[in-house]
Amino acid sequence: MVFHRVVPPAVGRSYVPNVFDLVALLMVLGALVLVAHGARETVEPLAVLEHTPIVLDWRLLPEYALRTTLRMLAAIVGSLLFTFVYATAAAKSRRAEIVLIPILDVLQSVPILGFLTFTVVFFMGLFPGRVLGAELASVFAIFTSQAWNMTFSMYQSLRSVPKDLEEASASFHLSRWQQFWRLDVPFAMPGLVWNTMMSMSGGWFFVVASEAITVGDTTVTLPGIGAWVALAIREQNLAAVGLAVLTMLVIIVAYDQLLFRPVVAWADKFRFEQTASSEAPTSWLLDLFRRTRALRALSVAVSSTFHHSLGVRLPLPRLPQIRLSLGIPERVVDAVWLVIVVAAGAWVGWEVIDFVGTSLGWADVGEALGKGLLTLIRVVVLMTFATLVWVPIGVWVGLRPRIAEKVQPVAQFLAAFPANIAFPAAVVLIVHFHLNADVWLSPLMILGTQWYILFNVIAGTAAFPSDLKEAAQSFHVAGWRWWVNVILPGIFPYYITGAITASGGSWNAAIVAEVASWGDVKLTATGLGSYIAQATEAGDFPRVVLGIAVMSMFVTLFNRLLWRPLYAFAETRLRLG
């Protein structure tokens, strides 16, 4: 098995810039100007936010859109760096995995309001009196809605690298640094690209909370689409909400065409198969840059420098050598490590109990657990429904690259659609028809998180080797047998990754979805999400901590009892090679 590499044609001898160089240069300079303009406003005094409050003036929407887009791009860059480091450490080290994966389970279960509650003051304190502190708090909040999905995706890919490719890299005596860039990253790239798209869109789901921050007596409102939506909902301005949706659509189409479509077309060369795919994804922007001369020569020089750097063997220490030199049996090392991990977990648990126990009693714990069970029922029902709907659709789209190109921006827009924008319709319908809010607010929980399943299924289907599909066709495997014996086992690891992040995201979304308002009308569904939202709004930190702890416990147990066993099954029984 080898990766299907599409090698670009060699750069011609003429390095004289052509018209494509001019167009590309103008686009790059325009992007740099926009970034510089948005960055300049982040270093202004914090008093500027008070003197220029958010107003529903359509002429300010381009400025708000730029500020929100830059925050999301900054968060996605941070998420990529975090993913490369965290996922690699968890996948490559058994002892690190014991600690890092449970921590990741907890992190994805901590709601964005939980992060904001304890990080706003910290970031504001780093840059007192400056907008930059509030901007960092907002970027970090968006980061927490993006990073965990991407990390799970790369972790799953690294654990699924075929054994024959690992043996080939060992036979070529590749260092760990070389193996990471020549094997691990290329193998993980197709799934990571689709999950990055999902994370970028998923960030919109919480953009309202990240830009219109209210924690107790601390209120910070940053210029952006999220703050615009929050104000439009308070003022019951449907026209302003519609303008926000239209602006979001324009932004999503722009970064689909200018960022993700080129990356998807570029990442197709890392497909794991022996035969070329019949339909390769295309990108007009990537084709434009490939037709340049000067920029193409520069990119080749940078690429050659990078590949040359892979030949440098970094003197990284190896844990097995250290252990053997000390003469300590591996069982003893594992036992000591496990004791340290359990002790650290017990200490953290005791600190939480001590903090909560000063003002709350067992009755409050029972209330949080009871509401957590109600939210759990909603999550299970909605996850089952999303699986039955989106797995067949994702397979159908993933098998048709041309269709995937058209579906991609639509799916990104639907994934980016914040639940807050659906509040007007939900609240009006529930009040008008006297419906039960506990039931009919529930679909808002899955509104943004169901797309994790769709995007991962599309990624898994698109990455499924063409030679295996052709083999199934040659053996006349079709119908139900094809689903059970071919495609479902092939995409199962990707589905598990999407289901884990969708499940954790549904718990997180409960905080937004279980409390819906439209003007003065406010509806609340009984559950752990509304419990945390109300405690955060009131600045009741013991109840916030209790709610987050209970939510983390539910998500961690759910992952350990259901998703992790399925994950292990996918690694051992459904691995390619």
Per-domain residue ranges of the chain: 46-279+360-573, 319-355
Global confidence as pTM: 0.74
Backbone phi, then psi, for 518, in 5-degree steps? -145, 100
**DSSP character for 273?**
S
Q: Which residue has the tokens 């000067």?
A: 294
pLDDT digits (tens, 9 = 90+) for 403-427: 877 777 777 777 766 666 666 777 7
Name the residue among 146, 137, 148 with its Cα closest to residue 212: 137
| SS3 state at 17 | coil
- Asked if 461 and 487 touch (Cβ cutoff 8 Å), the reply is yes
Nearest residue to 89 via CA among 105, 76, 100, 104: 100
Residue 81 is predicted with a pLDDT of 94
Chain centroid to CA 215: how far? 24
Residue 502: phi and psi, rounded to 5, are: -65, -40
Residue in this structure with the two tokens 């439209």, named with its chain if needed: 518
Please give the pLDDT value at position 390: 92
Neighbours of 250 (CB within 10 A): 11
Q: So what's the pLDDT on residue 79?
A: 93
Please report the sign of the dihedral spanned by the C-alpha atoms of residue 539, residue 545, residue 548, residue 551: negative
**pLDDT at residue 323, as a whole number:** 45
Residue whose token pair is 């939202």: 533
Pick the CATH number of 46-279+360-573 from 3.40.50.20, 3.40.50.300, 1.10.3720.10, 3.40.50.2300: 1.10.3720.10
Q: What is the pLDDT along the chain (577 residues), one digit of tens a residue?
A: 444 444 444 444 566 778 888 888 888 888 888 888 888 877 777 777 777 788 888 888 999 999 999 999 999 999 999 999 999 999 888 888 888 888 887 777 676 666 666 677 788 778 887 888 888 888 888 898 888 888 988 998 888 888 888 888 888 888 888 888 888 888 888 778 878 887 887 777 677 777 876 655 657 788 888 888 888 878 888 888 889 888 888 888 888 888 888 888 887 777 665 545 556 677 888 888 888 888 777 777 777 776 666 655 544 444 444 444 445 666 777 677 778 877 877 887 788 788 788 888 888 889 999 999 999 998 899 899 999 999 999 999 888 878 877 777 777 777 766 666 666 777 778 877 888 888 888 887 777 678 888 888 988 888 787 778 888 888 888 888 999 888 888 888 889 888 888 887 788 777 777 887 776 777 888 888 888 888 877 778 888 888 888 888 888 888 888 887 887 787 777 665 5
**DSSP letters for 41-83:** HHTSBTHHHHHS-----GGGHHHHHHHHHHHHHHHHHHHHHHH
Q: How much is the pLDDT for 83? A: 94
| pLDDT, position 279 | 63
List 45's β-bridge partners, or say none: 130
Nearest to 192 by CA among 138, 224, 156, 219: 156
Cβ atoms of 152 and 497 within 8 Å: the answer is yes
